[in-house]
Amino acid sequence: MKKISQLFIVFALHMAMGSTLKAQLNSQAKSYTRADTLRGSLNEARNWWDVMHYAVYVEPDHGNKTIRGKVDIKFKVLAPGKKMQIDLQEPMQLGKAYIADKPMKFSREGNAFFIDISTVLPKDSVFTLALQFEGNVTVAKRPPWDGGWIFAKDKLGRPWMSVACQGLGASVWFPCKDHQSDEPDQGATLKINVPDSLMAVGNGRLVAKESYKPGWTAYTWEVKNPINNYNIIPYIGKYVAFNENFSGEKGSLDCDYWVLDYNLEKAKKQFAQVKPMLQAFEHWFGPYPFYEDGFKLVEAPHLGMEHQSAVAYGNGYQNGYRGRDLSGTGWGLNWDFIIVHESGHEWFGNNITTKEVADMWVHEGFTNYSETIFTHHHYGKDAGDAYVQGTRKLVQNDVPIIGKYGVNEEGSGDMYYKGGNLVHLIRQLFNDDEKFRSALREMNKRFYHKTTTSAEVEKFWGEQLKRDLSPLFDQYLRTTKIPTLEISNKGNKLKYRWTDCNSNFNIPIRVLVDGQTKWLEPITEWKEFKSKQKISKVEPDKNFFVGFAVLQ
């Protein structure tokens, strides 16, 4: 029988007893509706047109928890179309719809509206769909996880509002094409009308400040780069700002910080971590992807989110994750989790965006690993290795990381910590940090401002390593099992193989044989090598996220 001598991953009891069964039961129990398909798939009412620009106007009513506004969607005609699907979640209402000043008829099916296209729109032509909307917007219960519009008050009792809607979708508050595959190629504007006692902040740069009625001011913010819908976010409160410049790889980057007035001094001290973060990430990932729009941290009435060029910050001006080190190693208390993690998404999630939420591990796995990169860059390789290894205790192995396609379904939350450890394992296969760094930079260059898929990202890393990595990705992304390196050590003969894995799993591993480094190329069948002398001790490198078992 097997005797487990060393295990470098932490299995909770329920994982060891039945994680695979649980995944099967979850898969069997989950049913999908037409609403799921309308939201998560591309169809004939979505495929024929491409979003080029969003111009969003919104006016909130804090007391009544309602909003009203307008959206102009500039779009390009790709093919003839008779209906146009516009997403707007209940209980929000669509009032009017116009194309070229001509009113359009529309009907509703749940969270989707279908605009009747009464005339043929020529291929390659560009039109603007003008929409009016209003209603009792969904109020977030536990943002950012349970999202919606946030009607909060600051500690002085003043209105403080924002939105957190990743996963839930931007259609929770404004009408749009709510699918990650279609970002507005020419960016977006967000005009926010608020009482004069408040300030409104949005993505990108402030381009206009106007007054439409006494006691109210409209602030218009502009993003020049493509941006995902869930990143277009208003922040409304008693804000003040300070700024600095970062000398980066593409020149001078404007860094602006918007915080509640009474937190200004705290922010000036805590946000000193931004420049070291940018320096580390530009070195490893390439230039900050949105120099034209600047970089901002904006204090938010929730923990934080990766809103492009306007990162939401709500970590209480303390290091760690709300003062805790998620890795349990102590290294995570040396830096502010929200500043590092959410800013990491500017490269992975905002620059590189997956077409489907099922592939969200590309966002979260690489951004989780940005925490390790930051720790390594500023505190040394051993610190970075310890940090990522420490996060393994948070892996659940409940269901596969990749979700079901076409129904707007994310996979397991393991996309964070298991995803980060998968990236760390890939780094080991390079066995050369400079080559790994070059690959990370090439990834951000190859997929610059693009939407992509897990399959394309998996292929990219295989090309960088000149190796078929499909067995690795299939194992860690599409199953709940962690491979175990099984060895039998007798005298000077060492036998080894992979178990608890797919039949084609064949990833090499670095081990220590009596203190000497050796690379093994296990498969699921026994292989062996002989040493000139008796082998006393074999142990795998802790940087490989695998189990280890010795046969006695």
Q: Residue 416 belongs to a domain with what CATH number?
A: 1.10.390.10
Residue 550 near residue 489 (C-beta atoms within 8 A): yes
The answer to whether position 514 is within a domain reads no
CA distance 300 to 320: 17
Residue 22 near residue 400 (C-beta atoms within 8 A): no
CA distance 342 to 471: 30
Instruction: Please enumerate in sequence order all residues whose Cβ is within 8 A of that of 459, keeping only pairs 6 or more positions apart, or say none.
Output: none
pLDDT of residue 491: 87
DSSP string, 226-265: ---GGG---EEESEEEEEEEEEETTEEEEEEEEEEGGGHH
CA distance 409 to 3: 39
Q: How is residue 204 annotated by DSSP?
A: S
- Specify the amino acid at residue 351: N
Q: What share of the chain is helix, strand, coil (3-state, %, to 5)?
A: 30, 35, 40
The residue among 298, 324, 280, 273 whose CA lies nearest residue 440 is 280
Is the preceding peptide bond at 471 cis, omega within 30 degrees of 0?
no
Residue 190 near residue 234 (C-beta atoms within 8 A): yes
The answer to whether position 382 is within a domain reads yes
Pairing, β 239-248 against β 251-260:
antiparallel
The answer to whether position 317 is within a domain reads yes
The residue among 343, 187, 156, 177 whose CA lies nearest residue 257 is 343
CA distance 425 to 507: 10
Instruction: Please enumerate in sequence order all residues whose Cβ is within 8 A of that of 119, keeping only pairs 6 or more positions apart, or say none.
Output: none
CA distance 4 to 11: 13
C-beta atoms surrounding 314 within 10 Å: 20
Which residues constitute the domain of residue 326?
246-481
The answer to whether position 197 is within a domain reads no
The answer to whether position 294 is within a domain reads yes
Instruction: Please enumerate in sequence order all residues whose Cβ is within 8 A of that of 274, keeping only pairs 6 or more positions apart, or say none.
Output: 246, 255, 257, 295, 297, 339, 343
Is the preceding peptide bond at 144 cis, omega within 30 degrees of 0?
yes
The residue among 527, 448, 447, 456 whose CA lies nearest residue 494 is 527
- SS3 at position 545: coil
CA distance 425 to 467: 14
pLDDT of residue 411: 96
The answer to whether position 90 is within a domain reads no
- Say whether pTM exceeds 0.85: yes
Assign 3-class secondary structure to 49-103.
Answer: EEEEEEEEEEEEECCCCEEEEEEEEEEEECCCCCEEEEECCCCCEEEEEEECCEE
Structurally, the chain folds into a number of domains equal to 1
- Specify the amino acid at residue 195: P
The answer to whether position 352 is within a domain reads yes
Query: Distance from CA of residue 477 to its chain's centroid?
Result: 16
Query: CA Rg, the chain, in Å?
Result: 25
pLDDT of residue 21: 35
Write out the chain's pLDDT in tens, 552 residues. 333 333 333 333 233 333 333 343 344 457 899 999 999 999 999 999 999 999 999 999 999 999 999 999 999 999 999 999 999 999 999 999 999 999 999 999 999 999 999 888 999 999 999 999 999 999 999 999 999 999 999 999 999 999 999 999 999 999 999 999 999 999 999 999 999 999 999 999 999 999 989 999 999 999 999 999 999 999 999 999 999 999 999 999 999 999 999 999 999 999 999 999 999 999 999 999 999 999 999 999 999 999 999 999 999 999 999 999 999 999 999 999 999 999 999 999 999 999 999 999 999 999 999 999 999 999 999 999 999 999 999 999 999 999 999 999 999 999 999 999 999 999 999 999 999 999 999 999 999 999 999 999 999 999 999 999 999 999 999 999 999 999 998 888 999 999 999 999 999 999 999 999 999 999 999 999 888 899 999 999 999 999 999 987
Output the CA torsion sign for 314, 387, 354, 249.
Answer: positive
Q: What are phi and psi of 319, to 5 degrees?
A: -80, 165
